[in-house]
Amino acid sequence: MIKTCRTKHHVFAGVLVVVLTSLATSAYAQSYDNPGLGQQPVSAHPQDYKPLGIRAGTFMLHPGVELAAEWTDNVFYSYDNEQSDFIYHLRPYITAQSTWSRHSLTVRLAADFAFHNDYSFRDYQDYFLNIAGRMDVKTRSSFNYNLDFMRLHEDLNNRAAQQGIDPTFYNMFDAGLGFDHQFNRLGVAVRYAYVNLDFDDNIDFDGDIIDNQERNRHDNIFDVRLGYQLKTEMQVFIGANWRQVKYQEKFDSNGLERSSDGYSLRGGVSMAITEVLNGDLYVTYHDMSYDDPGLPNVNGWALGAGLTWLPTQLTTVRGSITSDVQQTTSEFASGYLGTLYALRVDHELLRDLQLSAKMSYRDGDYTLVDNAPSGARQYDRVWSAGIGANYFINRSMYLSLSYDYSTLTSNLPNDDYTVNTVWLVLGLEK
């Protein structure tokens, strides 16, 4: 195995994670995966400050809660007449992690209750149930699985669908099953994932009903990856996935059949470039075709990467490039090819004080229908950056302070926005 054996299936898993999380739109990333901290997750506590947990048979339980205060200078993500607000968050959670010598199982329950000081109609409650595990078959074979249910919301920064005066709520259910096997130098990984999205209706700022039932859909995703070990520090791989998107309603409100199917191909190399730099570099080609003959295919090439650099024992630099085909409700577009470039730096200034900085750029290019008007959305460009600090008081308590900046540019007039956000978080965990 190469020195970066932990990246053996990095691309395979990474592609699936990107696809699944992108299906849930940006709300998932905001309210769960990136809990508004801009710094390291709880699992990255220094060894001296790791919560001890509660033993329950062959499981370790980690209950906790985050109390957060968020200030934003543009709560409606608007071009002008920006309105600021304070948002207070209550985030309870509990994680159960198995301690078995073989196999593994992790169960997590979490919630995010958000209360706006001035604009209470933007309040939301997000809920998460995540189950993930691994079954070891033989020394070189294992099954992995996940089962998730989430009640989420969309924020007004999502321009791919019409938003209402209240947050748009939706349910996301996904389940996956995968198998990994190593044949000497050849590694094989296959996976199937099912995702179901169910959106609630909403009311726009003019009082009209937004019918979101046309957005309800389920996805079937099949993925395979082959990797061949050239030498100890290098592995080449190829991969492919097939994705079927099936909408609950055959036609949307514009009379379009948005159900689709397509594929992605990728190939690249995993390697330890130096003793302190390792990761994956690959290229990807996407192609998605739609049932409606008036909707052109969304396709294109993209670079992919997942790199980790350790310039010192106290500093970690991570960079990534990911891409996928996204859905839209625009009558003038089939969908869009989105590419995300991300860079993050974490540094342990003191044993109990960690600093971080991050930057990302998201590029969304819409595939327009024939004779689309000049006023149709053609692209979105989102720049984001942030800095943060974690101060660990003891094993059970930490403080976080962070600042985030985000700006959107598009071809539409009065559609751009700039948002500045400050977070203060107190975390408690057993």
43 exposed, middle or buried (CB, 10 Å; 0-12, 13-18, 19+)?
A: exposed
Report whether 8 contacts 187 (CB < 8 A).
yes
Tell me the pLDDT tens digit for each residue of 185-223. 999 999 999 999 999 999 988 889 999 999 999 999 999
Walk along the chain (430 residues) in steps of 10 and give the mean pLDDT of each run: 36 35 34 34 66 95 97 96 97 96 96 97 97 92 97 92 93 98 94 97 90 95 96 93 96 94 97 88 97 96 94 92 94 95 94 94 96 93 96 95 97 95 96
Question: Which amino acid would we find at residue 249?
Answer: E
Label the pairing between strands 234-247 and 85-98. unpaired
Enter the tokens of residue 50: 């790791």
Report whether 299 contacts 290 (CB < 8 A).
no
Report whether 219 contacts 23 (CB < 8 A).
yes
SS3 98: strand
* Residue ranges covered by each domain of the chain: 5-429
Distances (CA, A) of 28 to 96, 204, 246, 271: 22, 22, 21, 31
CA-CA-CA-CA dihedral for 184, 14, 304, 225, to nearest 10: 30
Tell me the pLDDT tens digit for each residue of 40-61. 333 367 778 889 999 999 999 9
Taking the C-alpha atoms of residue 293 and residue 291, their distance in angstroms, rounded to an integer, is 6
414 exposed, middle or buried (CB, 10 Å; 0-12, 13-18, 19+)?
A: exposed
Report whether 371 contacts 406 (CB < 8 A).
no
Taking the C-alpha atoms of residue 161 and residue 154, their distance in angstroms, rounded to an integer, is 10
CATH 3.30.70 fits 5-429, yes or no: no
